[in-house]
A and B are shown apart, each in its own frame.
Chain A
Amino acid sequence: MLAMNYRGPQRVRVSQKPMPEIKHPQDAIVRVTRSCICGSDLHLYNGNVPDTRVGMTFGHEFTGIVEEVGPEVEKIKVGDHVLVPFNIACGKCHFCRQGLFGNCHESNSQATAVGGIFGYSHTAGGYDGGQAEYVRVPYANVGPTVIPPGMDPDDAVLLTDVVPTGYQAAEMGGIQPGDTVVVFGAGPIGIMAARCAWLFGAGRVIVIDKIEYRLEFVKNYANCEAYNYEEMDDPVVFVKKTTDWMGADVVIDAVGAEATGNTMQTITGRKLLLQAGSATALHWAINSVKKGGIVSIVGVYGPTDNLVPIGNVVNKGITIRANQASVKRLLPRLIDHVQNGILNPKALITHRIPLEDAADAYRMFSDKLDNCIKPVLIPPSARM
């Protein structure tokens, strides 16, 4: 089968790999119909995540047709068109039972800090991902969800990560009616977080980024204010000024390790890898939130250390909430929101690209070429 094949930092190709096999009684094999490139895939693409091995296939946002199931699979059957949450979760462990499906303790032998994630290095379990024609899906009774009749596959594929992660970012913010919410980052997750902040009753939503076409998009898509930090002397002072010198009630870091905007963070976090990515957005979030406020982190950082103003967290009495999205927990509500027209995820998709052109798709997304917001790879069989 054709599959994306990582060859080293900023080098990928699509090549033939062996078909995946059932390796556990609760496995399914899925023929991929859509597979997105996620902003967090860029951390892998740039070589920033430890234990990213040459030959691995990325991709944790995908939909597909069930081709084969193991003997213990009961919830889905051959022929079902399913969306597959990016978390690999057993549904039985201490954490899954609490609804923490992103923190499953039975899906990642290599690290205890995170559960298994499709195509996200061996630090997240060593599973090949969905940027391929076929993929092995473990715990098929738990994660995969049959796409409701009539739902656009482009909406469905964004329910595997972008929508739940954006929604959970707002949820973790504990937004109370009337709150001012600042979102750092106008990528797909930041856009969705800004949109979802209103669902929790935000009084004002502000997005800060530096890429004009994305700011223009989020302003229209999420009905929010959008500002370019390159046009400010200091984004923290800007937030203070625009909130009557108090700071925002809730600040969401939807950027993570690839942040720009601070030379020292960029050099130490992105160029020299002396810390687990550039923590610029998190730094700004901590400093621009109101005293007693909440910082919600969904931006992805590596597993090692980061330079952040932890003293200010203490002095300001900030609550920090962070997690990988618990997709399965959120899906019923989010499917309703999509079907009722409250959320329109597919509007984020700007590029539909053949799987065979994955290298160009990564370059386009990484370098923000051609006003790219969200690229989706489509395997040959799904283009017929």
Chain B
Amino acid sequence: MENTTKDYSHIKGWGIDADPKNDPTYPMKNRTDAEQTGYSWDRPSLQPVNTEILRSIERPNITAVFGTSTPPSGLSGMLRRFAFKYSESSYGHWLPLLLADRVNVVEGVLDDLKNGHVPNIFAEKGMKAEWQHNRLGVIQKLAVAAVLTVGVIAYVKSRQDEDDDD
């Protein structure tokens, strides 16, 4: 094989972590008896469970600590609970979760409106940065959107006119 560079003195630290023993294509893992003891370690103290935590059916219990961000709620929560009836190996688990995520977006907008907050979609999508650094791209996107909108309106209107003629 061709090496385009032979002198590595210009590369600070070249070879300092080289380890000939780190060749995973040959040695097998060195197992010890300690590894065969299964789920037997001295568990950390357990975080009190005072919110709904969904649990993978591939484990026997809730972990000693867990995140408490955004517990399941509403329709998306129902979908998430359904998903956790299936293992991580199943589409029955992941597809309902993806669907729940999309439903959750609508729920988020409804929550905002219920709380008197109209989401500023343009700001949330970072359009200020886009406008600042990619003005031409923004104009192109807007132009494409405008053409598509006009096209759809024209198509719908022409269909309506045809129906009226009939």
Contacts and interface: CB of A to CB of B under 8 A. Distances in A.
Interface of A: 7-13, 23-27, 47, 50-57, 72, 88, 90, 92-94, 97-98, 105-113, 116, 122-123, 125-128, 138-139, 171-172, 174-178, 180, 196, 198-201, 203-204, 223, 225, 242-244, 246, 249, 273, 292-294, 302-304, 319, 321, 333, 337, 341-343, 359-364, 366-367, 369-370
Nearest to B103: A54
A362 B125 CA distance: 8
Nearest to A340: B13
A126 B69 contact: yes
A55 to B, nearest CB: 5
A316 to B, nearest CB: 12
Of residues B64, B65, B102, B134, which shows the largest number of chain A Cβ atoms within 10 Å of its Cβ?
B65
B59 A112 contact: yes
A340 to B, nearest CB: 8
Q: Which 10 A-B pairs have the closest CB atoms?
A: A363-B126, A126-B67, A127-B67, A8-B105, A360-B129, A54-B108, A201-B18, A50-B97, A342-B13, A369-B133
Contact of B94 (A97, A138, A303): A303
Interface of B is mostly: loop
Interface size on B, as a range, is: 35 or more
Contact of A176 (B4, B20, B66): B20
Contacts, number: 246
A319 B54 CA distance: 35
Interface of B: 1-5, 8, 10-20, 22-25, 34-35, 37-39, 41-45, 47-48, 53-56, 58-59, 62-70, 72, 76, 80, 83-84, 88, 91, 94, 97-98, 100-102, 104-105, 107-109, 119-121, 123-130, 132-134, 137
A125 B91 CA distance: 20
